[in-house]
Amino acid sequence: MRIVHVIAEFSAREAMGRTVVETVERVDAEHHLVTTVAHDGTDRFASVTELGGSVATFPLGRTDDLRSTLEGLEADVVHLHAGALGPFQAMAALRGLPTVMTIYAWPTLPGPKALRRVSYAQLRASNVLQARVALTTLVPRRLAGAALARAGVQTVLSPDPRVLDRLDGRTGPVAVRLPSGGPTDSRRARHAAADGGGPTVVFAGRAESVRGLDTLLAAFPAVLRAVPDARLRLLLIPRAELPEILERAGASALGDALEIVTEPVADLAAELAGAQVGCWPFLFDYTTSPPAMAVAEAMSVGLPVVSTDVACVRAAIRDERDGILVPAGDSAALARELIALLTDRDEWERLAAAGPESVLARLSWERTAEVTSAAYAAA
């Protein structure tokens, strides 16, 4: 079987690209990639075609090139990876071709109260406040289903419950939950730090205010009062906001208790397994595409997680069962739960055991491959 993956922009380091790579490595087929630009990870594909142009509008303006490329590759199945606007943008190029689509999220604009959590500039620098999100908010369920049907999409895969709710099969293709985001890893976090130092709370992800870094910095002084030898380790992927975040972190008075790493991390799972608690205090439902993969990776190595009650996290964590969720932006609640995990070994051990079991049952890449293979076969 020849599968052609179509995605606006490809990087194996980002959530959508990571899902493509994990699928390619597990589904026995000949896999090809078509994109505007491929940054890394292209060695997994039999061929890579870069069409160039704007990522935001792909494939509008390149419909003929995309159609010609797909016909030249003689795809048995086209796998479109996109957001909810994908079928509208790719409709003309895909019509008549057997197509599976992964819709990673159906983001909507945050409400007025949530919008006050960070500045307009910080929102615009992230995925939370983009033109495509505003358009997605306005797309009616029936219109989306019709667009998918006209594009030839037979199955929609999604890790986002909102997509499954809106595409219920009555006005378009069948929608199937896509379990994804959790690797299988034998390494395990330990309650005590391996180096004999104090317990480490770790965050890993983009240097963006929408990810709640200010909330975490505000919470940590209270953590230090209860657990004086605790440490906060931030593994930041540089983004436009990085200088401002570093400045705010420097003014936090956490001193030696704070460590910030901005260089690429070669083995994230090892970093997570070396910590005692993972913390992702995201401020918005769609800070990242569901599920938040760093959260799932932390759970896979038995690292207890404290996060926030937002959609991208709820796709990975079930509150009190395999992780702890607090209200977004609430530094006091975040501090309380971090302290509870750092001081209550029984609770720590319970969540440390629940995380890997949950990932294996609900979020493993093996299950991703099974569900995706079935969709290919149906198409």
Q: So where are the chain's domains?
A: 2-180+364-378, 200-362
Instruction: Give residues with Cβ within 8 angstroms of 114, minimum separation 6.
Output: 283, 284, 328
**Do residues 287 and 210 make contact, with C-beta atoms less than 8 angstroms apart?**
yes
pLDDT tens-digit series, residues 321-363: 999 999 999 999 999 999 999 999 999 999 999 999 999 999 9
Sign of torsion over alpha carbons 358, 361, 366, 367 = negative
Taking only the tens place, the pLDDT of each residue in 297-306 is 999 999 999 9
Least confident piece of the model among 138-147, 261-270, 300-309: 138-147
Q: What would the pLDDT profile of 122-134 be if each residue is shown by its tens digit?
A: 877 777 777 777 7
**Angstrom distance (rounded) from CA 40 to CA 186:** 27
| For residues 44-60, average pLDDT | 91
Instruction: Please provide the CATH number assigned to the domain covering 2-180+364-378.
Output: 3.40.50.2000
DSSP element (H, E) containing 350: helix 345-358
How far apart, in whole angstroms, are the C-alpha atoms of residue 212 and residue 54? 29
Rounded CA gap, 263 and 261, in Å?
Answer: 6
Residue 190 has pLDDT above 70, yes or no: yes
Res 151: pLDDT: 77
Higher-confidence residue of 144 and 245: namely 245
According to the model, what pLDDT value does residue 90 have? 83
pTM here?
A: 0.85
Identify the pLDDT of residue 200. 97
Q: Is the pLDDT of residue 154 over 70?
A: yes
- The mean-pLDDT minimum among 105-114, 212-221, 228-237 falls in 105-114
Q: What is the pLDDT of residues 311-324, one digit of tens each?
A: 999 999 999 999 99
Q: What is the mean pLDDT of residues 46-54?
A: 94
| Whether the domain at 2-180+364-378 and the domain at 200-362 fall into the same CATH topology | yes
User: So what's the pLDDT on residue 115?
Assistant: 77
| Sheet strand arrangement including 305-308 | 258-261, 231-237, 200-206, 277-280, 305-308, 324-326
Amino acid at 316: A
Amino acid at 47: S
Average pLDDT over residues 228-241: 95
User: What does the pLDDT read at residue 170?
Assistant: 63
Assign a CATH topology to domain 200-362: Rossmann fold (3.40.50)
Report the pLDDT value the prediction gives residue 31, as an integer from 0 to 100: 98
Interval 161-174: pLDDT, tens? 888 888 866 666 78
CA 263 – CA 351 distance, rounded (Å): 30
For residue 236, is pLDDT > 90? yes
Q: How confident is the model at residue 289 (pLDDT cuts 50, 70, 90)?
A: confident
Amino acid at position 82, single letter? A
The per-residue pLDDT of the chain, averaged, comes to 90
| pLDDT reading at 205 higher than 90 | yes
pLDDT of residue 114: 77
pLDDT tens digit sequence for 62-112: 899 999 999 999 999 999 998 888 878 888 888 888 999 999 888 887 888
